[in-house]
Structure 1
Amino acid sequence: MKALVVSATPEPQSFVASMARTSCEVLERKGYEVATSNLYQMNWNPVASADDFGRRANPNYLTYALEQRNGVQTQTIAQDIQQELDKLMAADLLVLNFPIYWFSTPAILKGWIDRVLVSGTAYGGKRIYDKGGLTGKKALVGAALGGRPHMFAPDGIHGPVHDMLRHLLRGTLGYCGMGVPQPFFAWHVPYITPEARDEMMADYIAHLESVEDLPLMEFPHMADFSETMEPIRKQ
């Protein structure tokens, strides 16, 4: 089994950085061969642009997704993208460790998603959800935030945290076909005691150790939809 741990935090002493190191340690103990992508350490370029393609299918107008397909097929996609794509495609498990910024991922991680989850490989056309290009892989989110759990309860001020990250959990990971175990959230991290952080890390370790058995989030099944993506009404 192989895993890819992608971390996106600007502070190497942060709780998220510790989560990423812990992800590698626990998975290695479990027998995984672990690859890593520390995006800040790599100085990862998050900007999707025409520079990502050495030979364009259409040099006059940039349709990024179509150029991704052409770049992979012709082996002219940017080298940094190809290296990350190779790691992703080799992995059985993807782990994303990041602090939540503005109810979302940091820009550098969004840029990794934009550039590496290439059209034609990770998804495309009707190759989505349970027919997606990354079907058979799992993706675990381990994120940290400043809020408290009650703030993200169904009747909390922000609403459920899963709704907040729907664009990532469903619209990206599930959309590409990956099984998505219940994510792990480290709450109120900047404001709690070191002892409380230790307890939270112990909870994260337990979460990682049971990653194969965690329940998966529910996403659409393509068999329930027509050729035009309309729901099939069952009698």
Structure 2
Amino acid sequence: MNILIVYAHPEPQSLNGALKDFAVKRLEDAGHRVEVSDLYAMNWKPQIDSADNLAYVNDGPFNPAVDSRRAYEQGTQSQDIAAEQEKLAWADAVIFQFPLWWFSMPAIMKGWVERVYAYGFAYGVGEHSDSHWGDRYGEGNMAGKRAMLVVTTGGWESHYSARGINGPVDDLLFPIQHGVLYYPGFDVLPPLVFYRTGKTDEARFRQLCDTYGQRLDTLFSTPPIPYRQQNGGDYEIPALTLKEAFAEGQRGFGVHLKE
């Protein structure tokens, strides 16, 4: 199978760097084809601007959505964007590996999403009507592909528990998993989170690799997170609110999971 690793850490000799190298070898030894987008090594430009369209016409205020659609449709995107889109189209599964910085992905990875997820490629696709509000949240151009987050954090696992001070880790990752990944159609696997990474010695590193290796070995058999599909009948359209018959009396991110 074809696997893309989108990786964000500035230090190749970091724990993240070692885990990324381990993942590449493990996957290749299993017969998979692997591509790595090492964003810091690529000197990836994170900001979206008019330079992303090689045929940009300054005919009014810059509108990122409108201009990304124009560039995507006309084939005038900058080469770095087009190359990453080709990798996504090629991949059967995508692993996003990063340290949790300020409760989210590093800015360089967020910039990768903003620029690569062009209008017409990752969003703005499909019919919009009173019964079908675009191909998204379970549909879209990434449908049939798998995605998984591999996240490191210096905090303790208890800090990210249901009553932990940092908030439940599933809630913190919901905007990425449900928004960035499920929105364009990925089947999203449960995340792999490594805690207290500042205390990693050689023995602990072997344990992390064992855990990571098990997840890599089951990348194509692990059941995805059971998010509700937008156009599957659970939501009022076009209001896009969950129908009262589902998760009655409940609020929050959890209502978007099938019971």
On whether the aligned pair clears a TM of 0.5, the verdict is yes
TM bracket (short chain): over 0.9
2:226 aligns with 218
Instruction: Select the residue among 165, 171, 174 that pairs with 2:179.
Output: 171
What secondary structure is seen at the aligned counterpart in 1 of 2:62? coil
The answer to whether the 8 Å contact 2:188/2:225 transfers is yes
Asked whether the equivalents of residues 8 and 108 of structure 2 are also in contact (C-alpha less than 8 Å), the reply is yes
- Counterpart CA distance in 2 for 1:32 and 1:65 is 35
User: Can you list the C-alpha shifts for 1:168-217, whole angstroms capped at 9, x where unaligned?
Assistant: 11111011110111111111011233211221121111111111122211
Give the aligned residue type for 1:170: H
Residue 118 (structure 1) aligns with: 118
Contact kept in structure 2, 1:9 and 1:16, CA below 8 Å: yes
Q: Which amino acid aligns with 2:208?
A: M
Correspondence 1:198 to 2:197: no
Contact 1:19/1:142 (8 A) holds in 2: no
Tell me the CA shift for residue 95 of structure 1: 0.8
Aligned positions, number: 235
Q: How does 1:1-235 map to 2 (within 5 A)?
A: 1-56=1-56, 59-124=59-124, 126-221=134-229, 222-223=231-232, 224-228=234-238, 229-232=240-243
TM-score by length of 2: 0.85
TM-score relative to the length of structure 1: 0.94
Moved more, 213-222 or 137-146: 213-222
| Residue segments in structure 1 that go unaligned for 5+ positions in a row | none
Question: What is the CA-CA distance between 1:36 and the residue it aligns to?
Answer: 1.2
Gaps of 5+ in 2: 126-133, 247-259
Deviation at 1:57, TM superposition (A): 6.8
Return closer, same or farther for 1:220/1:57 CA change in 2, 3 Å cut-off. Answer: farther
- Identity across the alignment (%): 31
Cα RMSD, aligned residues only: 1.7
CA gap 1:9/1:50 in 2 versus in 1, 3 angstroms: same
1:46 offset after TM fit, Å?
0.5
Encode CA deviations 1:81-120: one digit per residue, 9 max, x unaligned. 0011111111111111111100100111111111111121
Q: Is the 8 A contact 1:53 1:78 kept in 2?
A: yes
